[in-house]
């Protein structure tokens, strides 16, 4: 029954997309489209959450007479799908709510409105699909809808290129997934997931499937070095779509990876875990370093998505390594940590993109060097953005900390792993995780501090106005969930139990009944954390301190010019900028990671020309992989260009030759 | 005799030697480098003496005394004198940054543990790790030799390799004294050779200096 | 009954930390002055400073927002909560299960996050430079501290600081290379995190260091008092962590009699004095380093922590 209701919601979304084509020119069309999307997503969210909490309603299966005639379209709702449906419809509902306000500022609604509900529907279909054809069809629909949304503001410089790179990477990813499913289906061609699950592929074949899944799902999720499209495409879309792409679509990619690697392949090998965890560690550190170097608020957030995907993959890698060694409980912990982070990241990344969108609407600026002081003009947005920043920086008592803490706990279980490589790799991954968490805090001090604090750096920032109430409501809802998931993590962990039970064969012990809502992932003597108590204590200590001081000491206050060591300068140009804030970290890591190069041009004494500092950064994966690849393709295209100018006889010869070659292959093939 | 505490202390010495090797990698001032090398030799001689005590092998005391006298006292003093004479009390330049060198060092330690522990599976528990530490010290010394451009620090890297060898040899139940004396003498000879070498290449130091000055007039690249 | 006693110990400890922290700082200052053949401020000067600052009015820049006004309370509260989770003279604290060593590190990270934001709030160059450098230092010190935490928790089989202290107090712990590495790493982190020489100079904000003191340059009155108190507490916290993990002798275990608690208290004060003495001698003997040498120093601490963890992973294989 739950599955039918979900399919109904999806049909509603698709219908809204079709209706939007007709109605896009009406001024109030956006209210209708986002309203319907909000209702459909909220409905799907309720159904999926109900299915996750009441496991009896799981397991429904539907086969629709669509798609390939001999296959049909299979849909099924299991625990994994239900969890990801919760994540994605939560993000979808928030984005729709945000769109109710944000949509009024859209320049060309005809380019956004039809695709937005279709994009949501496609993502829902990917998660529900239970055969390779429907999965790939929905996956491609999702890619194309999001591509169309990236192209929505096609006149802005760089957006067309972003969309082009995105389209290339998306096609490449789909190709890899197509091959992966082909290998999984085997020569018999069992294209439903049920048949794939039953057939266990050979070791070598399974390794190939893993590699293809990493390429296909990983390119959509943004693991290094397949991340290059992500910081281009995500910011190019309208902000609520950016939030969907960064907060939700990357999670659908993670779903694809989990579905293939944890569910369909069969028993994992230990080195899969090593590979995935290593990729996760590298992705986390490189992503956050890139984010730190970025001065465009939305691009910074997009790069930060890369970091969080890395953290998720660390958890997944640990789960694979534990699972391969038969340590089901530890594997469940790793998987719980990863999925918890999936949930968390979808919350705070959507929140932050909404905040960036509000700043964009209020000032027309994405460049942080032209912002500043917005906390005075947009106090509510600032507060909500601050909550999101604290959550994403993994600060207690917010939710980001809990999932990273769980990942750390999983790492601390890993000395029991017997393989030598894992013994060295896992602590190194732990160091990478710790480093990326600390750098993330620096990154968000920069993002929030330069954008919202200080003094306005441009007229646009000085005259900004607070955003509308729909946007605020969407952000407030997400921020509240960030706080709630941070102080009551036990409920989320318990909700994940059926998922890990299905995939890893075990689950983290139940947390709900523990005293004081503490979470104890392994054993009481080993580790425990209580976000509620911490939150309560910090609030109590701060409130007590304020009360005591204001009552008995002094509560006098005087406004004056800043002190600034005796040289206050009224010009806002004397503030620290985003570039200068990240300069020390660029010095520390940049020479190695970005081949950073600084040049100082000093004018001659007496000259009035300004001194200039030039910094050049290089994106090594881009230079090492993509540029040679593009050159190779260009060269090949140049060679094949001659084929365009042959005579008809020559073309016929080619066709004939190809036919003969194919027939010969068929004859020789055993 | 072989109570756990005694073994623990031997083990701590070996680990301490690895730590001092890292300090050698980290240090980029010549005077500091020489002082830390003296500490390195001191740890080795203490470690050897401790081995002599727990293995009841008195000839190892002589080895310890030689290490103490020559490498902890005589050679550092000589090196101090050399660098004073050459006038090169200044920062030395590693070929790659200190951070990367340290990272590479960690990798080398991991490598030596990975190599040593599986192939010595039948040996005693801590002796296996001592061997792994000794190999780490040797590899770190080599790393120092290849990552430093300055002749004095290369000499020190070379001698720290030798300390690692001594650690390995004494950990493995006794080593003929003759070998030790010959090794010590060979080191001394090497020192003299390189000392002469140093005097001859003083001019080259100066040219290198000017080159560095050009590169660093602006910002650090 | 047992719960009531543990709660009493917990509250006593929180009050004790608050009471002793300024004394520790005053003691270190006095010792440093003596080592330089100066008279030095009285031992109780930090208390007087705090009281005087609390009574003064706050001068707030025009461009300051509510972040700037809320930050001192949050910084103080977070640091105090973190301190209350560290066993000082007795293990078995009631709150200790609310947060383990990783959470304590992260709590200090929260305090730093808020303070760095406050540094950027007024929009001056000093606040910015302080915040930027503080985050640079933290970006290396925090992972180093986490690696030390990894080492300790792998050894004790628990990330709870109380359990770690109990384990280190127990009979089965020997002299281990990992422990030595972790101790060195932890001391390096503690020096960096508390803005001591050679990383930063706590005595001045006009030096070229400009890290912690530059970040809080705009603060005055009660706000400054809270931030100062938080930094006193932070020094006490690191000393307590080092003492309870590496020098756990005499720490009272939950359930022992009053004599054990008194003995633990006396020994704790002795440990604080010893650590303060070592810190003063170290700071006097060494020169401050250039700010861009700091990453090397902290990178070394991170490497030590990683090495310690790695060794432990290997030895646990047996």
Model confidence pLDDT, tens digit, residues B19-72: 899 888 888 788 888 899 999 999 988 988 888 888 787 777 877 887 888 788
Can you tell me the distance from the alpha carbon of A310 to that of A227, in angstroms, rounded to the nearest whole number? 11
pLDDT at B221 (0 to 100):
42
Contact B5, B38 (CB under 8 A): no
Strand partners, A373: none
Contact B66, B177 (CB under 8 A): no
Whole-number percent of chain A with pLDDT over 90: 61
Rounded to the nearest 5 degrees, what angle is found at the Cα of C168, between the Cα atoms of C162 and C172? 130
Contact A358, A314 (CB under 8 A): no
**Interval A186-214: pLDDT, tens:** 777 788 898 888 887 888 889 999 999 99
pLDDT at B83 (0 to 100):
75
Enumerate neighbours of C (3 or more CB pairs within 8 A): A, B
pLDDT at A202 (0 to 100):
83
Can you tell me the distance from the alpha carbon of B14 to that of B129, in angstroms, rounded to the nearest whole number? 9
pLDDT band for position B204 (cuts 50, 70, 90): very low
pLDDT band for position A304 (cuts 50, 70, 90): very high
Can you tell me the distance from the alpha carbon of A459 to that of A351, in angstroms, rounded to the nearest whole number? 26
pLDDT band for position B219 (cuts 50, 70, 90): very low
CB proximity list for A11: less than 8 A, separation 6 or greater:
none
Strand partners, A64: A73
- The stretch C24-51 carries a mean pLDDT of 93
pLDDT at C35 (0 to 100):
94
Can you tell me the distance from the alpha carbon of A448 to that of A345, in angstroms, rounded to the nearest whole number? 18
Please report residues of B whose CB lies closer than 8 A to that of A592: 97, 99-100
Can you tell me the distance from the alpha carbon of B91 to that of C246, in angstroms, rounded to the nearest whole number? 35
Can you tell me the distance from the alpha carbon of C184 to that of C145, in angstroms, rounded to the nearest whole number? 11
Task: Give the residue among C26, C94, C87, C116 at the shortest CA–CA distance from C250.
Answer: C87
Is residue A151's pLDDT more than 70?
yes
Q: Which one is predicted more confidently, C99 or A478?
A: A478
Is residue C186's pLDDT more than 60?
yes
Nearest neighbour of A405 by CB, restricted to C59, C102, C292:
C102
Alpha-carbon gap: B118 to the closest alpha carbon of chain A (Å): 9
Q: Count CB atoms within 10 A of the CB of residue B87.
A: 10
Q: Do B99 and A592 touch (CB under 8 A)?
A: yes
What's the pTM?
0.91
CB proximity list for A173: less than 8 A, separation 6 or greater:
A143, A215, A216, A217, A218, A219, A220, A226
Is residue B88's pLDDT more than 80?
no
B2 near C CB under 8 A = no
Is residue A250's pLDDT more than 60?
yes
Question: Quick one: closest CA in A to B107, which residue?
Answer: A424
Alpha-carbon gap: A610 to the closest alpha carbon of chain B (Å): 16
Question: Quick one: closest CA in B to C185, which residue?
Answer: B19
For A:586-605, CB contacts with B below 8 A are 587-588, 591-592, 597-600
Alpha-carbon gap: C299 to the closest alpha carbon of chain B (Å): 6
Is residue B205's pLDDT more than 50?
no
Nearest neighbour of A560 by CB, restricted to C61, C126, C138:
C61
Alpha-carbon gap: C1 to the closest alpha carbon of chain B (Å): 41
CA distances from C104 to A45, A470, A529, A534, C168 (A): 36, 38, 11, 10, 19
Is residue C318's pLDDT more than 60?
no
B217 near A CB under 8 A = no
C291 near A CB under 8 A = yes
Is residue C270's pLDDT more than 70?
yes
Q: Do B99 and A598 touch (CB under 8 A)?
A: no
Strand partners, A601: A612
Pick the residue of C314, C317, C318 with the most B CBs within 10 A to test the interface with B by mutation.
C314
Alpha-carbon gap: A341 to the closest alpha carbon of chain C (Å): 17
Burial of B18 (0-12, 13-18, 19+ CB in 10 A): buried
- Which range, A408-412, C90-94, C98-102, C295-299, has the best average confidence (pLDDT)? A408-412
Please report residues of B whose CB lies closer than 8 A to that of C289: none
Q: Do A565 and C217 touch (CB under 8 A)?
A: yes
Nearest neighbour of B114 by CB, restricted to A424, A591, A592:
A424
- In the DSSP assignment, the letter for residue A285 is H
pLDDT band for position A39 (cuts 50, 70, 90): very high
Q: Count CB atoms within 10 A of the CB of residue C68.
A: 23
pLDDT at B2 (0 to 100):
52
Least confident of A306-315, A440-449, B39-48: B39-48
Q: Which one is predicted more confidently, A177 or C9?
A: A177
- In the DSSP assignment, the letter for residue A201 is P
How many contacts, defined by CB atoms under 8 Å, are there between A and B? 21
As a whole number of Å, the end-to-end CA separation of chain C is 43
pLDDT band for position A438 (cuts 50, 70, 90): very high
Can you tell me the distance from the alpha carbon of A165 to that of A170, in angstroms, rounded to the nearest whole number? 9
Whole-number percent of chain C with pLDDT over 90: 53
Whole-number percent of chain B with pLDDT over 90: 6
Pick the residue of A420, A583, A595 with the most B CBs within 10 A to test the interface with B by mutation.
A420
Is residue C294's pLDDT more than 90?
no
Q: Do B12 and C181 touch (CB under 8 A)?
A: no
Contact C137, C294 (CB under 8 A): yes
**Interval A260-283: pLDDT, tens:** 999 998 888 999 999 999 999 999
- The stretch A373-387 carries a mean pLDDT of 95
Q: Do B113 and C310 touch (CB under 8 A)?
A: yes
- The stretch C1-29 carries a mean pLDDT of 87
A580 near B CB under 8 A = no
CB proximity list for C251: less than 8 A, separation 6 or greater:
C87, C89, C90, C91, C165, C169, C244, C264, C267, C268
**Interval A466-515: pLDDT, tens:** 999 999 999 999 999 999 999 999 999 999 999 999 998 888 888 877 77
Is residue C45's pLDDT more than 90?
yes
Helix or strand run (H / E) with residue A592: helix A578-593
CA distances from A19 to A29, A33, A114, A122 (A): 9, 8, 8, 17
Nearest neighbour of C306 by CB, restricted to B16, B98, B106:
B106
B18 near C CB under 8 A = yes
Nearest neighbour of B97 by CB, restricted to A424, A591, A597:
A591
Is residue B126's pLDDT more than 70?
no
Question: What is the DSSP pairing of strand A61-64 with strand A73-76?
Answer: antiparallel
Tell me whether the omega of the peptide bond preceding residue C198 falls within 30 degrees of 0, making it cis. yes
pLDDT at B217 (0 to 100):
45
pLDDT band for position B210 (cuts 50, 70, 90): very low
Contact A250, A194 (CB under 8 A): no
pLDDT at A140 (0 to 100):
95
- Which range, A343-352, A563-572, C250-259, has the best average confidence (pLDDT)? A343-352
Average per-residue pLDDT for chain A: 90
- Is this complex scored with an ipTM above 0.90? yes
Question: Quick one: closest CA in C to A455, which residue?
Answer: C123
Question: What is the DSSP pairing of strand A557-560 with strand C58-61?
Answer: parallel
Tell me whether the omega of the peptide bond preceding residue B22 falls within 30 degrees of 0, making it cis. no
Nearest neighbour of C81 by CB, restricted to A438, A534, A576:
A534
Can you tell me the distance from the alpha carbon of A218 to that of A227, in angstroms, rounded to the nearest whole number? 8
Q: Do B221 and A597 touch (CB under 8 A)?
A: yes
Q: Tokens for A454?
A: 């200080």
Is residue A441's pLDDT more than 60?
yes
- Alpha carbon A119 to its chain centroid, in Å, reads 16
Q: Tokens for C194?
A: 């508390």
pLDDT at B203 (0 to 100):
41
Can you tell me the distance from the alpha carbon of A33 to that of A16, in angstroms, rounded to the nearest whole number? 6
For C:58-77, CB contacts with A below 8 A are 58-67, 73-74, 76-77
Is residue C248's pLDDT more than 60?
yes
Q: Do B219 and A592 touch (CB under 8 A)?
A: no
Is residue A355's pLDDT more than 60?
yes
pLDDT at B220 (0 to 100):
45
DSSP letters along A68-133, please? STTT-EEEE--HHHHHHHHHHHHHHHHHHHHHHHHGGG-S-GGGTTTHHHHHHHHHHHHHHB-BHH
Q: Do B97 and A600 touch (CB under 8 A)?
A: no
- Alpha carbon B130 to its chain centroid, in Å, reads 16
- The stretch A526-545 carries a mean pLDDT of 90
B87: alpha, beta or left? (left if phi > 0; alpha if psi -120 to 50): left
Can you tell me the distance from the alpha carbon of C183 to that of C189, in angstroms, rounded to the nearest whole number? 10
Q: Which one is predicted more confidently, C110 or A667?
A: C110
pLDDT band for position B216 (cuts 50, 70, 90): very low
Contact A358, A381 (CB under 8 A): yes
Q: Do C177 and B16 touch (CB under 8 A)?
A: yes
Is residue B209's pLDDT more than 60?
no
DSSP letters along B130-185, please? HHHHHHHHHHHHHHHHHHB-SHHHHHHHHHHHHHHHHHHHHHTT---HHHHHHHHH
Please report residues of B whose CB lies closer than 8 A to that of C317: 117
Question: What is the DSSP pairing of strand A612-616 with strand A73-76?
Answer: unpaired
Is residue A58's pLDDT more than 70?
yes
Enumerate neighbours of A (3 or more CB pairs within 8 A): B, C
- The stretch C271-297 carries a mean pLDDT of 90
**Interval B92-113: pLDDT, tens:** 555 567 778 888 888 888 888 8
C297 near A CB under 8 A = no
pLDDT at B91 (0 to 100):
58
pLDDT band for position B208 (cuts 50, 70, 90): very low
Q: Do B5 and C174 touch (CB under 8 A)?
A: yes
Strand partners, A616: A597
Q: Tokens for B69?
A: 């006298």
Q: Which one is predicted more confidently, B61 or B1?
A: B61
């Amino acid at each position: 029954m739950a599955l039918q209701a979900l399919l109904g919601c999806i049909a509603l979304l698709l219908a809204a997309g079709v209706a939007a084509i007709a109605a896009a020119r009406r001024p109030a069309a956006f209210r209708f489209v986002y309203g319907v999307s909000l209702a459909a997503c909220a409905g799907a969210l309720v159904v999926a959450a109900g299915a996750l909490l009441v496991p009896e309603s799981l397991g429904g299966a539907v086969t629709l007479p669509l798609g390939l005639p001999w296959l049909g379209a299979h849909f099924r709702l299991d625990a994994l799908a239900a969890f990801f449906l919760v994540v994605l419809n939560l993000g979808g509902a928030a984005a729709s709510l945000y769109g109710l306000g944000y949509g009024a500022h859209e320049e060309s609604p005809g380019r956004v409105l039809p695709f937005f509900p279709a994009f949501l529907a496609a993502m829902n279909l990917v998660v529900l699909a239970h055969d390779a054809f429907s999965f790939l069809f929905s996956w491609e629909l999702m890619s194309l809808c999001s591509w169309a949304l990236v192209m929505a503001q096609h006149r802005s410089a760089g957006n067309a290129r972003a969309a082009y790179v995105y389209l290339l990477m998306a096609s490449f990813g789909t190709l890899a997934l197509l091959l992966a499913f082909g290998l999984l289906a085997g020569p018999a061609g069992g294209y439903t997931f049920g048949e794939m699950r039953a057939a266990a592929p050979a070791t070598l074949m399974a390794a190939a499937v893993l590699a293809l899944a990493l390429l296909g799902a990983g390119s959509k999720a943004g693991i290094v070095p397949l991340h290059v499209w992500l910081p281009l495409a995500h910011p190019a879309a309208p902000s609520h779509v950016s939030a969907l792409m960064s907060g939700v679509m990357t999670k659908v990619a993670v779903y694809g990876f989990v579905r293939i690697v944890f569910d369909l392949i069969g028993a994992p090998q230990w080195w899969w875990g090593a590979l995935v965890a290593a990729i996760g560690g590298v992705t986390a550190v490189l992503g956050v370093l890139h984010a730190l170097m970025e001065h465009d608020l939305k691009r910074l957030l997009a790069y930060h998505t890369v970091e969080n995907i890395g953290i998720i993959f660390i958890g997944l890698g640990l789960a694979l390594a534990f699972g391969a060694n038969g340590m089901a409980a530890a594997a469940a912990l790793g998987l719980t940590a990863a999925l918890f982070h999936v949930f968390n990241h979808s919350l705070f990344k959507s929140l932050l993109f909404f905040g960036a969108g509000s700043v964009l609407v209020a000032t027309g600026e994405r460049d942080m060097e032209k912002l500043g002081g917005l906390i005075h003009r947009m106090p509510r947005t600032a507060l909500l953005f601050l909550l999101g920043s604290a959550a994403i920086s993994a600060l207690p008592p917010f939710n980001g900390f809990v999932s990273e803490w769980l990942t750390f706990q999983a790492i601390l279980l890993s000395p029991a792993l017997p393989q030598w490589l894992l013994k060295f790799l896992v602590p190194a991954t732990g160091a990478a995780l710790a480093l990326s968490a600390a750098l993330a805090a620096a990154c968000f001090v920069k993002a929030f501090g330069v954008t919202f604090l200080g003094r306005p750096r441009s007229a646009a920032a000085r005259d900004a106005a607070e955003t509308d109430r729909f946007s605020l409501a969407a952000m407030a809802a997400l921020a509240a969930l960030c706080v709630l998931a941070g102080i009551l993590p036990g409920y989320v962990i318990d909700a994940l139990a059926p998922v890990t039970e299905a995939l890893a064969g075990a689950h983290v012990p139940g947390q709900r009944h523990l005293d004081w809502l503490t979470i104890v992932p392994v054993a009481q003597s080993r580790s425990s954390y209580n976000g509620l108590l911490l939150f309560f204590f910090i609030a109590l200590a701060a409130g007590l301190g304020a009360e005591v001081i204001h009552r008995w000491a002094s509560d006098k206050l005087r406004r004056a010019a800043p002190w600034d060591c005796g040289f206050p300068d009224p010009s806002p140009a004397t503030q620290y900028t985003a570039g200068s804030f990240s300069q020390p970290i660029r010095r520390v890591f940049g020479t190695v990671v970005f081949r950073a190069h600084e040049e100082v041009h000093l004018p001659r004494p007496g000259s009035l020309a300004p001194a200039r500092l030039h910094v050049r950064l290089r994106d090594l994966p881009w230079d090492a992989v993509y540029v040679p690849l593009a050159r190779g393709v260009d060269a090949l295209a140049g060679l094949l260009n001659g084929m365009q100018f042959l005579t008809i006889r020559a073309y016929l010869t080619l066709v004939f030759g190809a036919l003969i070659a194919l027939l010969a292959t068929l004859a020789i093939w055993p | 005799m072989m109570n756990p505490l005694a073994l623990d202390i031997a083990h701590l010495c070996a680990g301490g030697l690895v730590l001092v090797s890292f300090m050698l990698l980290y240090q980029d001032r010549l005077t500091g480098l020489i002082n830390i090398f003296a500490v390195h030799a001191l740890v080795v001689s203490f470690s050897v003496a401790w081995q002599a005590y727990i293995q009841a092998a008195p000839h190892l005391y002589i080895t310890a005394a030689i290490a103490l006298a020559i490498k902890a006292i005589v050679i550092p003093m000589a090196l101090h004198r050399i660098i004073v004479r050459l006038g090169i009390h200044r920062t030395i330049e590693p070929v790659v940054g200190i951070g990367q060198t340290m990272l590479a060092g960690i990798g080398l330690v991991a490598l030596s543990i990975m190599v040593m522990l599986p192939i010595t599976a039948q040996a005693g528990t801590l002796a296996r790790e001592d061997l792994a530490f000794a190999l780490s010290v040797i590899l770190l010394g080599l790393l120092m030799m290849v990552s430093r451009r300055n002749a004095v620090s290369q000499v020190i890297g070379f001698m720290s390799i030798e300390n690692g060898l001594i650690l390995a040899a004494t950990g493995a139940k006794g080593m003929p004294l003759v070998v030790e004396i010959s090794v010590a003498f060979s080191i001394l000879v090497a020192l003299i050779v390189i000392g002469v070498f140093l005097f001859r290449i003083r001019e080259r130091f100066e040219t290198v200096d000017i080159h560095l000055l050009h590169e660093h007039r602006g910002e650090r690249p | 009954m047992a719960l009531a006693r543990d709660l009493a110990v917990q509250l006593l400890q929180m009050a004790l930390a608050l009471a002793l922290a300024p004394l520790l700082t005053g003691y270190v200052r006095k010792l440093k002055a003596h080592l330089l053949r100066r008279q030095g401020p009285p031992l109780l000067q930090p208390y007087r400073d705090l009281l005087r600052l609390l009574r003064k009015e706050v001068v707030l820049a025009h461009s300051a927002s509510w972040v700037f006004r809320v930050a001192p309370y949050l910084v103080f509260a977070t640091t105090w909560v973190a301190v209350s989770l560290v066993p000082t003279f007795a293990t078995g604290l009631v709150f200790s299960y609310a947060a383990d060593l990783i959470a304590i590190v992260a709590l200090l990270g929260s305090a730093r996050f808020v303070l760095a934001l406050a540094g950027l709030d007024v929009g001056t160059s000093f606040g910015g430079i302080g915040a930027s450098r503080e985050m640079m230092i933290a970006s290396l010190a925090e992972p180093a501290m986490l690696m030390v935490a990894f080492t300790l928790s792998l050894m004790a089989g628990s990330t709870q600081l109380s359990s770690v202290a109990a384990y280190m107090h127990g009979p089965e712990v020997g002299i281990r290379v990992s422990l030595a590495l972790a101790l060195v790493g932890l001391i390096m982190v503690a020096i960096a995190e508390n803005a001591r020489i050679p990383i930063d100079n706590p005595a001045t904000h006009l030096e070229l260091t400009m890290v912690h003191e530059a970040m809080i340059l705009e603060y005055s009155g009660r706000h400054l008092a809270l931030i100062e108190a938080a930094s006193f507490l932070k020094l006490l916290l690191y000393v307590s962590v080092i003492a309870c993990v590496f020098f756990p002798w005499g720490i009272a275990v939950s359930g022992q009699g009053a004599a054990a608690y008194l003995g633990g208290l006396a020994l704790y004060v002795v440990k604080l004095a010893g650590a303060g003495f070592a810190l003063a001698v170290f700071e006097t003997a060494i020169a401050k380093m250039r700010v861009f040498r700091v990453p090397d120093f902290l990178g070394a601490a991170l490497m030590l922590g990683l090495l310690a963890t790695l060794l432990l992973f290997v030895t646990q294989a047996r």
